Amino acid sequence: MTYHKLYRSFLGQLQAIYNMGEASVITSWVFEKIAGIKKMDFITHPALEPELDVADKLNDALQQLLQHTPVQYVLGEAWFYKLLFKVNDQVLIPRPETAELVNWLLADYKVKELFSSSISILDIGTGSGCIAVTIKKNLPAATVTAIDFSTDALAIAKENALANKVEINFFQFDFLHEQLWQTLPRFDIIVSNPPYIPIGEKAQLDKNVTAYEPHSALFVPDSKPLLFYKKIALFGESNLKAGGSIYVEVHEKYATQTGELFAGYRYNVETKKDIFEKERMLKLTHFR
């Protein structure tokens, strides 16, 4: 079978679970990654055929995709802020909303970094390391620390730091255990995309999220939807330097409540909407 026919078959089958636009993007990405070929290549050379092992790999990828496996896990990689990250089912797939959070932080501090000593930054729940790595790449003078309770996630994050040629201090650390906080220094910036989806909303999410992405990085108890934000607010009281800021991604339904929680701990609260006009980001500055 030629690449042209194989591509059309692949695309057609994916449209059973994706719309045409998504199916087209995924198909092109898979063919370029696995076969090293772009759509224009086999349009220009319609008789071009894949080697047998390449055809088998493409079929294997298709079968995984038809089981709702995210394409990022199928290919083992995801793009974030123009950087390539290794991902697997031990870490969340980096998302555009998180890139917007990082962009907000960088916009605030990129100029400041030129006129100050090294800025210290903590990424809570680093997962793939996408936040920490991106910040370090764009603020090279910053000292970046990243923590996660999962040793498997940290292994991926360390690989991503190495691949993107940045130095980050990684620690295995269960942030919910307050007695451990004293082992960490004070920081100029704290950033986090913590678990914030109440477990009761699980049924509303796509199957490719609930069946494959790590639940520990997604869900919180229905009775404690702001669990991590309360801990971050308390942590900031002892470990955020004067004049420092906290940046967090939040659940759109709980943005107001999350802001009120931080305000109750004497933080100045700024809210930012994402590109879809949803309140998804908060910046907190503690006034002492």
- Structure confidence by residue, pLDDT tens digits, 108-161: 987 665 555 689 999 999 999 999 999 999 999 999 999 999 999 999 999 999
Q: What pLDDT score does 117 carry?
A: 64
* Mean pLDDT to the nearest integer, 259-285: 95
Place of tokens 């923590």: 147
150 plus 58 within the same structural domain: no
Instruction: Indicate whether this model's pTM tops 0.75.
Output: yes
CATH of the domain at 168: 3.40.50.150
117 plus 239 within the same structural domain: yes
Tokens for 272?
């930012």
141 plus 27 within the same structural domain: no
Q: Which residues contact 86 (CB under 8 A, 6 or more apart)?
A: 76, 77, 128, 156, 159, 160, 163
- Is 80 part of any domain? no
Report the length, in residues, of the chain: 288
161 plus 256 within the same structural domain: yes
Residue 3 pLDDT more than 70? yes
Q: What pLDDT score does 111 carry?
A: 65
Tokens for 51?
């080697």
Round the average pLDDT of the chain to a whole number and report it: 92
How do residues 77-86 score in pLDDT, each as one tens digit? 999 999 999 9
Strand, coil or helix: what is 81?
coil
How do residues 171-217 score in pLDDT, each as one tens digit? 999 999 999 999 999 999 999 999 998 888 888 878 778 888 888 88
Amino acid identity of 230? K
- Is 75 part of any domain? no
143 plus 188 within the same structural domain: yes
Residue-number span of the structural domain to which 63 is assigned:
3-67
CA 136 to CA 139: how far, in whole Å? 5
Q: Which residues contact 22 (CB under 8 A, 6 or more apart)?
A: none
Q: Which of 67, 100, 123 is the last residue of a domain?
A: 67
Domain total in the chain = 2
